């Protein structure tokens, strides 16, 4: 009720005013005034006689006249205003209700649009995450491929460098041997020259010596000749020993180069399996034929990083390397070869 009064103060005021007017109309005396006047005239004498006493005893009646048409007009006007206010209130209420409904629909559509936008955003985030994961996967695969190529290239370069190093070492050894032999030859020629000069000197001394000493000089010359022969033999033996040692050293170098060539070819045929430690290492024992065909492979002395996959891959690399490189000289051929292998 209070809420209604607060919402429609004008209508409530008009209603109260209307009720007050109606109460006032009911309180008015609607008797004929002419009849009152006639009664007053007939009793004028009596009234005059007792005028003074009645005036003192009875107060005059207070009355007022109301125009019914004016009241009706006012009531109609008030009723029309009330109806207008009521209609206005109904229109306002309907408009408010319509606006509330429209607001609810707008909020509902906004909520639906927000849900759609949120769903689209989540789908976009998922798609971006999926795209990013695929891109990272592609990058990782490419990096793995590039790393494998790089490692293969490094192994190939290392093998080539070892080949070049072995070749240079062999050439240096041959050159050093030639220089040494040349030096020995010069020393031998110098010694021979010295001996010849010594012999000439001895001969000259012999010619200037007294005939009495010819036998002694001859004996001495024979002893010196024997000494020279012994010296020559000693020099020849030393030279032969040096040549033999140099040849042995050269064979050792050639054998190392031969083993390195076999190891390099095996590494070139190495196919790196997944999850192999770069610290893995094993000794490989190979039994081969003179033509380089592999008859058996044994895995020996592996460290703790050598897995089963590493051992199998190393064995396969040996078989893929058939035929194995031939030795530079036949005497270096070994049916059983053992060398250290690591990726």
CB count in 10 Å sphere of residue 196: 10
**Is residue 191 a part of any domain in this protein?**
no
pLDDT class of 40 with cuts at 50, 70, 90: very low
Q: For the domain that residue 343 is a member of, what is the CATH number?
A: 3.30.1150.10
Q: 294-300 and 336-341 as β-strands: parallel, antiparallel, unpaired? A: unpaired
**Is residue 259 a part of any domain in this protein?**
no
Backbone φ, ψ for residue 167 (5° rounding):
-65, -45
User: Which has more pLDDT, 141 or 23?
Assistant: 141
Q: pLDDT tens, 44-72?
A: 444 444 544 444 554 555 554 557 888 88
Residue in 324, 304, 321 with CA at minimum distance from that of residue 313: 321
**Is residue 194 a part of any domain in this protein?**
no
Judged on CB neighbours under 10 Å (0-12, 13-18, 19+), 227 is exposed
> pLDDT value at position 285?
95
> pLDDT value at position 241?
75
Cβ neighbours for 251, distance < 8 A, ≥ 6 positions apart: 329, 331, 332
> pLDDT value at position 10?
75
> pLDDT value at position 37?
40
DSSP lists the bridge partners of residue 299 as 284
Stretch (H or E) spanning 85: helix 68-208
Boundary (domain end) residue, out of 90, 113, 136:
113
Q: Name the pTM for this structure.
A: 0.32
SS3 62: coil
**Is residue 136 a part of any domain in this protein?**
no
Token pair recorded at residue 50: 């007792």
Boundary (domain end) residue, out of 79, 113, 147:
113
**Domain limits at 329?**
275-343
Token pair recorded at residue 299: 């895995």
Backbone φ, ψ for residue 31 (5° rounding):
-70, 160
User: What total number of domains does the chain contain?
Assistant: 2
Cβ neighbours for 305, distance < 8 A, ≥ 6 positions apart: 277, 279, 280, 281
Q: 294-300 and 282-288 as β-strands: parallel, antiparallel, unpaired? A: antiparallel
Boundary (domain end) residue, out of 76, 95, 113:
113
**Is residue 257 a part of any domain in this protein?**
no
């Amino acid at each position: 009720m209070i809420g209604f009064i607060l919402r429609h103060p004008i209508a409530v005021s008009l209603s109260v005013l209307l009720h007050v007017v109606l109460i006032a109309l009911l309180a008015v005396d609607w008797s004929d005034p002419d009849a009152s006047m006639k009664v007053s005239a007939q009793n004028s004498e009596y009234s005059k006689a007792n005028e003074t006493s009645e005036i003192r005893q009875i107060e005059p009646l207070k009355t007022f006249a109301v125009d019914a048409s004016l009241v009706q007009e006012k009531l109609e006007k008030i009723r029309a205003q009330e109806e207008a206010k009521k209609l206005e209130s109904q229109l306002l209420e309907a408009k408010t209700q319509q606006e509330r409904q429209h607001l609810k629909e707008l909020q509902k559509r906004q909520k639906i649009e927000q849900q759609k936008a949120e769903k689209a955003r989540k789908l976009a985030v998922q798609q971006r995450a999926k795209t990013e994961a695929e891109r990272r996967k592609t990058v990782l695969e490419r990096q793995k491929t590039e790393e494998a190529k790089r490692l293969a290239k490094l192994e190939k370069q290392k093998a080539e460098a070892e080949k070049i190093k072995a070749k240079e070492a062999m050439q240096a050894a041959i050159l050093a041997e030639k220089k040494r032999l040349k030096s020995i030859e010069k020393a031998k020629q110098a010694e021979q020259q010295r001996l010849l000069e010594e012999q000439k000197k001895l001969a000259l001394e012999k010619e200037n010596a007294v005939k009495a000493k010819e036998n002694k000089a001859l004996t001495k010359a024979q002893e010196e000749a024997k000494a020279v022969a012994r010296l020559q033999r000693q020099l020849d033996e030393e030279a032969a020993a040096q040549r033999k040692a140099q040849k042995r050293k050269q064979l050792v170098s050639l054998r190392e180069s031969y083993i390195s060539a076999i190891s390099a070819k095996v590494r070139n045929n190495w196919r790196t399996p997944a999850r192999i430690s770069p610290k893995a290492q094993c000794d490989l024992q190979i039994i081969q034929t003179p033509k380089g065909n592999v008859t058996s492979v044994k895995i020996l002395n592996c460290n703790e990083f050598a897995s089963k996959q590493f051992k199998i891959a190393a064995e396969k690399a040996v078989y893929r390397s058939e035929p194995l490189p031939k030795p530079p000289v036949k005497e270096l051929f070994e049916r059983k070869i053992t060398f250290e292998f690591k990726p």
